[in-house]
Amino acid sequence: MNAAFAWLFDPEHWSGPTGIPARILEHLGYTSLSVLFAAAIAVPLGAVIGHTGRGTFLVAGLSNGLRALPELGLLTLLVLLTYVGLLPVVISLVILAVPPILAGTYSGIRNVDRAVVDAAHGMGMRSSTVLLRVELPNALPLVLGGIRAATLQVIATATIAAYVSLGGLGRFVIDGNNAGPGSPDGYPQMAAGAIVVAVLALVVEGALALVERAVVSPGVRDAARAGRSARMRRRPTGDVVENPI
């Protein structure tokens, strides 16, 4: 472990195009690209399914089906089918990120108080206005929860980019592995890479929590809190099932 920290804090490893900062930026690049694509697909899809109640089977089916695919196998397949490069990596990360965002958005929309949606229609909002101005703002905590879960998975999994000779923090893990046991750039480099991935995940998690605070309406935060305590009061036995997101 000490060797890992020694490797990690070696100034030589903090500069240049193969240094830790450059790798972090690459890693964040793959991550944000993939999560953005995934959100662009899953948020509208989940919102429309939740709003109309049509295509609910898609949510369950996609989540289970996509989760069952081993990422590495999928990646290998895509690499063989196309070519080595960014595209197959991003596609497989998008496939990984879609299910949690889809599920979060869908359940977020479904969980909006029916009376609120009813009132929105009753006041004369058009269906699209109800979705955009009422359902989505109220679903935001769960939508963002889905995005957070997806981002964490993608950060952890983006190490696979290194398998197809791209950059990112996976490089340290792969290169460390290739350097073999005993080498100073072997095991310590691998462990250092893993540590950086973990720290990066924590930092991004924190940043997303801040974003959530900034964009979710205080009324919705209060409502979520009130609803949660009401649920707990109803079930004092301790079998409270909190949403894991």
Q: Which is nearer to another protein, 91 or 220 (CB)?
A: 220
Binding residues for another protein, how many (CB under 8 A)?
23
- From residue 128, alpha-carbon distances to 48, 52, 103, 121, 216 in Å are 10, 11, 20, 10, 20
Residue 113 dihedral angles phi and psi, to the nearest 5°? -45, 125
Query: In this structure, are residues 135 and 50 in contact, taking their beta carbons and an 8 Å threshold?
Result: yes
Query: Is residue 107 near another protein by the rule CB under 8 A?
Result: no
Report in angstroms how near the CB of residue 114 gets to another protein at its nearest: 9
Cβ proximity of 139 and 44 under 8 Å:
no
Tell whether residue 119 is a contact of another protein (CB under 8 A). yes
For residue 218, state whether it binds another protein (rule: CB under 8 A).
yes
What's the closest the beta carbon of residue 162 comes to another protein, in angstroms? Answer: 43
**Given the rule CB under 8 A, which of 63-71, 116-124, 172-180, 205-213 is the region that contacts another protein?**
116-124
- 167: CB partners within 8 A, 6+ apart: 22, 23, 26, 27, 161
Contact status: 116 vs another protein (CB under 8 A): yes
Q: Please report, as ranges, the residues that interact with another protein according to CB under 8 A.
A: 113, 115-116, 118-126, 129, 134, 137-138, 217-220, 222-223, 226
